[in-house]
Amino acid sequence: MNVCFIMYPWERVHAAHDSTLRLVHECAARDHRVAITTPGSLTIRDSVAHAFCDVVQNDRISSNVPTFYRQAEFRRSKLPLSGFDVIFMRANPPLDSIALNFLDQVRTDTLIINDIDGLRVASNKLYTASFNDPDSEFIPVTHVSKNRDYLERVILESDQERMILKPLNSYGGRGVIVLEKSAKTSLRSLLDFYIGEGQGNYVILQEYVAGAEDGDVRILMLNGEPLGAMRRVPAAGEARSNIHAGGTEVKHTLTRQEKALCKAIGPKLVRDGLYLAGLDVIGGKLIEVNVLSPGGITRINKLNRTRLQRPIIDFVETVVQHQERLVARKHELRKVIEDAHSS
């Protein structure tokens, strides 16, 4: 296969923990032709979408991923995006909408993970509201607005002592705070800060799910099914459990509620082309869906002595092979008609 990774700069990769590097390595180890690029390297020539890529040149691929990273050799080339069998969109948040516009041109020729329309609809925290859950069995009660008076009224009228407050367009746990109802004298000031001036920013108010103080669960989903999971425990005095915010990972086995959640939302993820996604779950409830470069592969691997990159690339190979068979079959049938016409 010809595989392209649209990602962050290679020099910013943390070799010990980077999930994208595991996928790059797995493809190279299987002797696929691998190229990496960044959103800023996308270009158009003669109305055809290209990318300035670094193509992996190593004849021998070390089985050790950090060693592979250190020894990687590249050749710089400008390559047509439609020549790739699969493109992994692994750039860090926030979503680069211009990059998706480049990929619009090749979506019918190339498997893109994740699908660009799926990325457009799911790369903000409103996506969880699109799941049909009227009884809030899997999705916490959520309010989204930029109206200060409305949000303040929601907080004061809530029968909960605590709620979660966060910006709509943040990522990686940035800006997430636990709001105590007893601190009502600070509500207006907090809302002013989060909403800002002018037309303002949207703010999310969410019910505080029991057990949040003990961290959350990251579940990696592949083609609508759970692939692996870990629990992330926040550092002392920290509300966020994100690893970069000081959280630590521990081994986790999915509960019955978490399995039911995955079964409930998995089909929609597939329909939206979100084949590889990371779910953040607390108390069996879905807090967030991560679809742009979801991480956790290396840490789940370490906790469970597995290599999640293998089933991921297995899945991609299967889809590409299926698409190739469909194209070949189409050519065969077309040839039958052409032969009948000429005879």
Question: How far is residue 343's CA from residue 340's CA, in Å, rounded to a whole number?
Answer: 5
Domain boundaries, the chain: 2-113, 141-207, 214-307
181 token code pair: 């109802």
Candidates 3.40.50.20, 3.90.1150.10, 3.40.640.10, 3.30.1490.20; CATH matching 141-207: 3.30.1490.20
Q: What are the counts of helices (DSSP H) followed by strands (DSSP E) for the chain?
A: 9, 16
Q: In 158-308, which ranges are continuous DSSP H helix?
A: 187-195, 256-271, 297-304
pLDDT greater than 80 at residue 46: yes
Span 199-210, mean pLDDT?
90
- How would residue 136 be classed by pLDDT, with cut points 50, 70 and 90? confident
The pLDDT tens digits for 264-320 are 999 999 999 999 999 999 999 999 999 999 999 999 999 999 999 999 999 999 999
- The top-scoring range by mean pLDDT among 173-182, 187-196, 266-275, 325-334 is 266-275
pLDDT digits (tens, 9 = 90+) for 105-128: 999 989 999 999 999 999 888 899
Confidence band, pLDDT 50/70/90 cuts, at residue 65:
very high
Is the confidence at residue 94, as pLDDT, over 90?
no
User: Does a cis peptide bond (omega within 30 degrees of 0) precede residue 114?
Assistant: yes
**Domain at 214-307: CATH code:** 3.30.470.20
Q: Structure tokens of 119?
A: 């990325």
Contact by Cβ (8 Å): 205, 214: no
pLDDT tier, 244 (very low <50, low <70, confident <90, very high otherwise): low
Asked if residues 280 and 176 have their Cβ atoms less than 8 Å apart, the reply is no
The arithmetic mean of pLDDT across residues 325-339, rounded, is 90
| Interatomic CA distance for residues 107 and 71, integer angstroms | 33
What are the tokens at 49? Answer: 């979408």
Question: Does CATH place domain 2-113 in 3.40.50.20?
Answer: yes
pLDDT higher at 92 or 184: 92
Q: Exposed, middle or buried, 331 (CB in 10 Å: 0-12/13-18/19+)?
A: exposed
